[in-house]
Every structure is written in structure tokens, then in C-alpha cells.
Chain A
Amino acid sequence: MRLTQGTFSFLPDLTDRQIRDQIQYCLDQGWALSVEYTDDPHPRNTYWEMYGNPMFDLRDATGVMAEVASCRTTFPGQYIKVNAFDATRGVESLKLSFIVNRPDREPGFGLSRQEAEGRHIRYAVHSYATDRPAGERYG
């Protein structure tokens, strides 16, 4: 399967040139950029690991690209995304978030169902990657 979280997941994987342009766009809007990675991309896994703090006051994409490159070197087989944070009052949240690295093989998710009374069904989405212990996933 192909995980389609993030803003540009339906396009072919972005080139570094394209990633750089998106980062520069975010910086030009005055947003802070951050890099996050995970080996468990469950749709409700809100808190991916932070690769350093968000980067404030940058003007040029080079610095963020260096963090992306460094994160890829450290965690080549994991999902990595770039987030852009807007501190404007009333937003104070992400404005863009897109995947810049994914493992070669994406095992995806299973859906388990538990039948209850009145044809009621309780669903749980299960991340196959987590069948293996952390550190050994996507090996």
C-alpha cells in the first residue's frame, strides 16, 4: 500500500528541488518548519518523533533541507514529514505537512471488527509495522 497522509501523497514522490520549493514557500509565509519521523504511521498517531525543535526565523530553505537530509541519513527506512506551523492568532496550527521519506515496503494496516449487540460493530485499525518491535520495523 501507499500511505497517503500529507499534502502531496498522491503525486509521485517529490524531488529535493520540489521539497525545497515548498519549504521556501512556507518560510516566505513566515511559518516555522519542523521535521518529524516515525515507524508507526497509524492514522491516529498524532505525535511522530521530533527531529529537533521547530526552526524559527529562517529565511532560506537550505537550513531545513539540511535537517531533512540529516534525518534521512539517520532514519532511512522510516516515514519522515516536514511540517509548517503558523502562529497567527486564530490558526496557531499546521498550515502544511507533507511526507519527504517513506520506507521501501509499506505494510499498511489491517481492520479488525468486533460485533456487538444490534448489528453494532466496533472497528480498530491496526498498523502491521507494529507487529515487530521498534527498531526492527521496515528492516
Chain B
Amino acid sequence: MTVQTDRTATHDTPPESNARYRSGVMEYARMGYWDPDYEPKDTDILALFRITPQEGVDPIEAAAAVAGESSTATWTVVWTDRLTAADVYRAKAYRVEPVPNSPDQHFAWIAYDLDLFEPGSIANLTASIIGNVFGFKAISALRLEDMRIPVAYVKTFPGPPTGITVERERLDKYGRPLLGATVKPKLGLSGRNYGRVVYEALKGGLDFTKDDENINSQPFMHWRDRFLYGMEAVNRASAATGEVKGHYLNVTGATMEDMYERAEFARDLGSIVVMIDLVIGYTAIQSMSAWARRNDMILHLHRAGASTYTRQRSHGVSFRVIAKWMRLAGVDHLHAGTVVGKLEGDPNTVQGFYNVLREPHNPIDLARGIFFEQDWASLRRVMPVASGGIHAGQMHQLLTYLGDDVVLQFGGGTIGHPMGIQAGATANRVALEAMVLARNEGRDIWNEGPEILADAARTCTPLRAALDTWGEVTFDYTSTDTPDFIPTATPA
């Protein structure tokens, strides 16, 4: 069913109420889903969509259609609207602008009344905002770029169970990024061999090791084995170094009952952190968040699957929106890109994700893709995780781009070290501490980084070997998800 659009219609004449509810098909704009004079309320949920209308469809009508389909509308007029305060429940597209340098795309700003959503439910929020509307025929592509969650709605979510500050206090680790590594190979290790990798990496100097997203309970290693050997390794490493250490035990399972069972076992073994995958779904994430809060557990979320809908610029959901939802849903760690590693990530766009996760308040920042001011109302801050194809030789770039509050995960960059896993871990830790020390001393680490690393390597053979092995490795591909607004220099 395609809605025929009368392109000569004037959108700014409000329909007479009798005419509005006459049976039949009517443009969405005329049904009240377009209101250029609407002033968003402080309690409204705001969304910014990138719309690519079908050829011949007016952008305003397309925006109104998105507003309609993501709130109260159906394809035809229904008299039952008149039994409701329909004007309030209708989402309102209130602004449409062409996307810079993309002639067929438009940005549409849409406001939703708070009462359209169940308090504290990401599932309910997303069922509206990214529900049917993404398959709607009048548009050829649609992307949810950003959302403003009003404080009134933020406060219905408990948020991260631990947060950056308390995580650091619990770990007694301050002033530097945390270090992690994912156990490799991803699949095939037995529990006993797996624990060996954990022990070596943690004893060598990492703070965390991590299960991979697809390590659950497979024929080569059942989950209980992994947990038992993993925690033996964690505790041995902690005693060997005097530091608090952790291993993200992935409790992802087929059912909530499985996940609770695994999480409880992890807790009983004394783990400080458990891990889940994004693919378990928003409701399961919120359930695990509540569990983590009850059990003083750090909750690590791997964004497995996110790139299927976040990567393409014209269609899907921006990761910055996923990041906002996950902060609301309540996770403590979220993979958010590395800029320099093997996975997608434009520097500005990635910094935008980081800011969403770990700032108390986000101002509008078009250069980083942030379209709305967002007040997080003291919701705890999420520690971003940078993982995928990074190594010690990039430490100055990582520290400059990502700052201190981040977990840097060097999987291959630890386990693939020519002198062994402990040496790989030590190389990363020494490189990191030397870089933080130099930065705090006021040195220009962006330009002097390689020199600082070379100096540190003089008293650290493992770092020397790491630099010799990976010093030149870069992943220099053009990003697909880049900001639309490039900052222009203001004339002096």
C-alpha cells in the first residue's frame, strides 16, 4: 500500500477537525504529523531521522509519515482517534532540512510526547521509534541519527549498576585507561588452556581479560569449566601482583534462566564482572542490569551485531543512539570504537559516542554528530571499550583520541607477542604508563609519541619487541559513518 501524495498541498493550513477525520487516505502532513510551529516541550522525546524519500515524495510529507508511523498513525483515517486526546499522542515533525552534500536526503526532527512510552523500558521506546517505520514504503532509506531523552524519562531508568567512578574505586585503578585483552583463539580452547591465557595476560600487567562474544557453552568448553579455570587464573594473578584483576565472564545464554544461573555462579566464584552480548536483546539487557545492581557486579556489554544496523550512513540506527539506549538500560562497559584499530570508526564520530557514554551532559556538537543537548541527570557514566586491531605502538594516538576513561583491549596485541603473553601484557602496560607520565609532564605526545615509546622500550625488552613487530601496522580505510557537519575555521 502506497500513500499517494498531493504534492501541491500546502502543509501549513491546519485541517478542519471534521475534514481531518473523514474516512479515507490523507497525507500525513495534513493529519497533524507536521507542525512547523511546534515548540518541543522539555519533557518531549526528540528524534532526528535521516530520510531518503522515494522519488517524487515530498520531504515534508515523508517526515510527517515517519512521525505518524512511529507514533499513532496507520495508513488510513480511523474514527477511534476521536476517542483519544489524539493531538497529544501524535508525534510531530517540526523541522525538515536538506542534508549537506547529500541531495536526496533530509534531516527530520520529530517530537514525541512523554506519555507515548512506558517508563523505564527500552523495548517499548524502540518498538515505537524504530518499529514498523523503517520498512515504510514511502521512504527508500531511513536512519535514526540521534535522540534527546528528556530528564523526565531518563529518571525512569536506574542506569549503569556501577559506573566509571565506582568501577575505578572498586578496582583501585586511577589516572590511566584500563587495559584488557580478549582471549584468543576465539573458539576451540579447552577450559584449562583458556585459563592459562587469562593468567598470563593478567599477571603480565593487564587489568582485565575478556571472553569473546561467541564463547558461551560449546562442545570444546562448557561454561562452568571456563568460569572455574578463569577465576583460578584471576585470583592467582591478583595474588602475584597485589592488584585487583577481572575476567569478563560471558554469561550470554539461550534463556534468561541460563544467564541467571551463569551470572550467579560467576558471583559465587568471586568475579567482579560479568559480560553479555547485545544480541540478547534490550529486555534481557535490562534484566541483567538489575541483576548486576543487586549483586555489585560490573556489567560488560559486547556490541555483537550492532554493525548490521549502525554502520551504513543512509539506513539503520546510529551507534550514538544505541549508546544512549545502553546507558539508560544500564551497562557499565560498552564497546564504542577505537578510531585507529581494525573496526569502523571516524575520529569525530567515535568521540561523539564516547561523550554520550561518559559525560554528565552533552552539548550540541554537530562536528561529532550530536544533534541534541542531553542532560544525563546524574545517570552513572559508562566506560567505553576500545577493542579490535590496536597495539602498543599506537598508545599516543589512543590516549589522545580516547582519553583516560576507557578500556583499551589489546587481544592480538597481547597474545600474539613474540616473547609470550606475559611479555605482551607488560609491553602494553609499560607503553601506557610511560605515555600517561609523559602527557602529565606536559609533553606533546601526539608528535613525540614514538620517541616516548622508544625511550620506555630501553628499559623494557617486551615493549621493544612489540614495537619491532607491530610498529608499522595501521588500518587506514575510509570510514562510512562520518559526520555531516565538518567544522569550518572561523576567520580570525
Within 8 Å of chain A (Cβ to Cβ): is B165?
yes
Please, which residues of chain B bring their CB within 8 A of the CB of A56?
none
For chain A residues 106-130, which have a beta carbon within 8 Å of chain B? 108-111, 119-123, 125-126
- Interface class of chain B by DSSP: helix
User: Are A123's CB and B168's CB within 8 A?
Assistant: no
Q: How far is the CB of A93 from chain B (nearest CB, A)?
A: 5
User: Are A21's CB and B165's CB within 8 A?
Assistant: no
Instruction: State A96–B238 Cα separation when bound (angstroms).
Output: 21
Please, which residues of chain A bring their CB within 8 A of the CB of B434?
11
User: Are A43's CB and B242's CB within 8 A?
Assistant: yes
Of B252-260, B385-393, B425-433, B474-482, the one contacting chain A is: B425-433
User: Are A5's CB and B269's CB within 8 A?
Assistant: no
Least CB separation from B439: chain A residue: A25
Least CB separation from B237: chain A residue: A111
Q: How far is the CB of A85 from chain B (nearest CB, A)?
A: 10
User: Are A125's CB and B436's CB within 8 A?
Assistant: no
Binary contact readout B447-468 vs A (1 if CB under 8 angstroms, 0 otherwise): 0000000001001000000000
Instruction: State A121–B174 Cα separation when bound (angstroms).
Output: 30
Within 8 Å of chain A (Cβ to Cβ): is B172?
yes
Within 8 Å of chain B (Cβ to Cβ): is A1?
yes
Please, which residues of chain B bring their CB within 8 A of the CB of A42?
242
Instruction: State A14–B436 Cα separation when bound (angstroms).
Output: 13
User: Are A108's CB and B240's CB within 8 A?
Assistant: yes
User: Are B172's CB and A11's CB within 8 A?
Assistant: no
User: Are A10's CB and B243's CB within 8 A?
Assistant: no
User: Are B174's CB and A94's CB within 8 A?
Assistant: yes
For chain A residues 31-57, which have a beta carbon within 8 Å of chain B? 41-44, 46
Instruction: State A49–B205 Cα separation when bound (angstroms).
Output: 26
Least CB separation from A21: chain B residue: B441
In the complex, 25 of the A-B residue pairs with CB atoms within 8 angstroms, ordered by the A residue number, are A1-B241, A3-B241, A4-B242, A7-B176, A7-B436, A8-B436, A9-B433, A10-B205, A10-B433, A41-B242, A42-B242, A43-B238, A43-B242, A46-B172, A84-B175, A93-B168, A97-B174, A108-B239, A108-B242, A109-B240, A109-B242, A119-B224, A119-B228, A120-B268, A120-B269
Chain B residues with CB under 8 Å of chain A are 165, 168-169, 172-176, 205, 224, 228, 231-232, 235-236, 238-244, 268-270, 360, 378, 381, 426, 429-430, 433-434, 436-437, 440-442, 456, 459
